[in-house]
Structure 1
Amino acid sequence: MKKYTLIVFTLLLSVMGAGLLISCGTSKNVVYFQDLKPGESEITLPEVQAITVQPEDKISIIVNSRDPQLMNLFNLPYTTKQIGQQASSNNQGVSGYTVNAEGDIDFPVIGKIHVAGMKREEIAKFIKDKLIADNLVKDPVVTVEFMNLCVSVLGEVNNPGRFSIDRDRLTVLDALSMAGDLTIYGNRYKVLVLRQEGDTQRVYGINLTSGEHLYSSPAYYLQQNDVVYVEPNEVRSRQSTVNGNNVRSTSFWISLASLLTSIGILIFN
């Protein structure tokens, strides 16, 4: 009797120990920036890569002036468009300029402007200088905003989706924050950034556990249409077995408890 009891007890301790080892092995892999120490670490950030306008991007350009008539001359009408309805003039939205395949937009009075590769402030300055040089507006204030620029965040994050770019500089940390951070099952060692550069699809890998690796990555600053993918870690991958029946799953522990109960009944009866 004691012999069987000892066997069951040893089996239980072994399985529980395996579970504890797995837990300890994975908990150390969830901490970001493990190589950084407060007050001691200094890392040179990569060169800032501000977002530039590319073909098929949509931007809004607003010209303000003391003369309302001049403002109306250079600004597209405020419109809203709904499925099944014709667009009408109102104050619910602003029309934008879609950059064509050659990287140009057709601006009122001025005509064709090549904006591909330009930053927001560069476009605004070019139009302002052009309006003044051609004596079209004496006191223009030009504002340029992004309209359809987005990044996608997929994989082991709390809120995957497509997120609008509302600033000139967007980092991979910004994108992960908008997606609600990684889940506990996200692989901090391998976050992928997929970026199309011309006819080439580039894939960058980022290790979030290393601040030095993160800040030196060419993908630290994101561009429009980038896709950020967080791979599942080993715990999540092993949970995806056919029945999910392993030491990391609830079903395993239920099955084990049932087995040990059955063995106990046989022994003590």
Structure 2
Amino acid sequence: MSLRYTFINVLVSIALLSSCSTPKGITYMQGMFEEMPQEIIQQSRITVQPDDKLSIVVSSKDPELAEVFNLAVARHQVGQSITNNNNMQQTALFTVSPSGFINYPVIGEIYIAGLNRQEVAQLIQKELISQNLLKDPVVTVEFMNTTVSVLGDVSHPGEYPIDRDDLNVIQAISKAGDLNITGLRENVLVVRKKDEKNIAYRLDLTNAQSLFQSPAFYLRQNDIVYVEPNNMKKRQSTVNGNTVQTPSLWISIISLLTTISVLVFK
């Protein structure tokens, strides 16, 4: 009799242990408060790439001189008249050529590929002063078409604008509403195009040390972030794919084994 009850207790214990285990791959950036390495990726700001569209605005104490360097968009026609509201005026965008140049008014072609916003502004400011075109130019540069794509097992997959110079992968995922509970946090894929080649990086969001050291922690324009679903989510795509994982199945198995044990040890 005691052997039968021992067998039943073992079955129940196995069932309880399998259902009460705590997943370890859920919490982000584990080890954050431990001693972190010094070799953290320093280059965080996005830089100019071919086909980027830039807004470049030059201002000066003499607005008429500065206006030469601001490509104005044609004013919009409303009905039969042309609007004269200054708030409607916009500045044309500069498109970076495949070879990394922009064609800037008066100055001509300027190579800006690989520079960040501040460096582009400083370069144009320096050219304007050195060529005696403006004495006191203030140059403002903004990226206008930079985006990243967040796909896979997240709440709101889609394409999102880069609204800051140092957008990281955690911030991009938060824009997409965070990972679903079924998303694999230890194996997030970042695909980046560099020198006409696609480079893949694997990020472990649960490991702060490896995450901060990855060259893909800070994202670049046109990066693709893909969150892979776990096996349970994958099995949902097939008929009865998760049947073996359901508690009701294991309860049925335990009941069956208990009945067999009663009959065997009777």
Q: Deviations over 1:14-40 (max 9, x none)?
A: 6x937x725635x32211122333xx4
> Of 25, 29, 32, which aligns to 2:25?
29
Q: Deviations over 1:71-103 (max 9, x none)?
A: 32111114689xxxxxx9962643210011111
Contact 1:55 1:116 in 2 (8 A): yes
Paired with 1:159 and 1:241, the residues of 2 have a C-alpha distance of 23
The reply to whether residue 127 of structure 1 matches residue 121 of structure 2 is no
Paired with 1:96 and 1:103, the residues of 2 have a C-alpha distance of 15
Q: 1:112 to 1:240 in 2, by over 3 A?
A: same
Give structure 1 stretches of 5+ with no counterpart: 1-9, 82-87, 261-269
- TM-score, length-normalised on structure 1? 0.77
Residues 177-196 of structure 1 aligned to structure 2 (within 5 Å): 177-196=174-193
- Give how far 1:238 is off: 2.6
Contact 2:148 2:223 in 1 (8 A): yes
Alignment: residue pair count:
238
Letter in 2 for 1:56: D
The reply to whether residue 152 of structure 1 matches residue 149 of structure 2 is yes
Letter in 2 for 1:43: P
CA RMSD of aligned residues (A): 3.1
- Give how far 1:131 is off: 1.0
Q: 1:187 is paired with a residue of what secondary structure?
A: coil
State percent identity of aligned pairs: 47
The corresponding residue for 2:140 is: 143
- Give how far 1:247 is off: 4.9
Letter in 2 for 1:76: L
> Of 200, 209, 222, which aligns to 2:206?
209
Q: 1:32 is paired with a residue of what secondary structure?
A: coil
Q: 1:177 to 1:23 in 2, by over 3 A?
A: farther
The reply to whether residue 219 of structure 1 matches residue 216 of structure 2 is yes
Q: Deviations over 1:159-189 (max 9, x none)?
A: 1111111222221112112112111011011
Residues 162-173 of structure 1 aligned to structure 2 (within 5 Å): 162-173=159-170
Paired with 2:56 and 2:162, the residues of 1 have a C-alpha distance of 16
Deviation >4 Å, runs of 4+: 78-81
The reply to whether residue 113 of structure 1 matches residue 110 of structure 2 is yes
Contact 2:72 2:89 in 1 (8 A): no
Contact 1:154 1:161 in 2 (8 A): yes
Contact 1:58 1:98 in 2 (8 A): yes
Contact 2:55 2:91 in 1 (8 A): yes
The reply to whether residue 73 of structure 1 matches residue 73 of structure 2 is no
The corresponding residue for 1:60 is: 55
Paired with 1:22 and 1:34, the residues of 2 have a C-alpha distance of 24
Letter in 1 for 2:122: K
- Give how far 1:46 is off: 1.7
The corresponding residue for 2:264 is: none
Paired with 2:115 and 2:234, the residues of 1 have a C-alpha distance of 43
Q: 1:136 to 1:194 in 2, by over 3 A?
A: same
Give structure 2 stretches of 5+ with no counterpart: 1-7, 77-82, 256-266
Paired with 1:80 and 1:194, the residues of 2 have a C-alpha distance of 40
Paired with 2:114 and 2:120, the residues of 1 have a C-alpha distance of 10
Q: 1:189 is paired with a residue of what secondary structure?
A: coil
- Give how far 1:242 is off: 2.0
Q: 2:185 is paired with a residue of what secondary structure?
A: strand
Letter in 1 for 2:135: K
- TM-score, length-normalised on structure 2? 0.78
Q: 1:67 to 1:181 in 2, by over 3 A?
A: same
Q: Deviations over 1:26-70 (max 9, x none)?
A: x32211122333xx4333322224211111111110001121212
Paired with 2:184 and 2:161, the residues of 1 have a C-alpha distance of 24
- Give how far 1:120 is off: 1.0
Q: 1:221 to 1:185 in 2, by over 3 A?
A: same
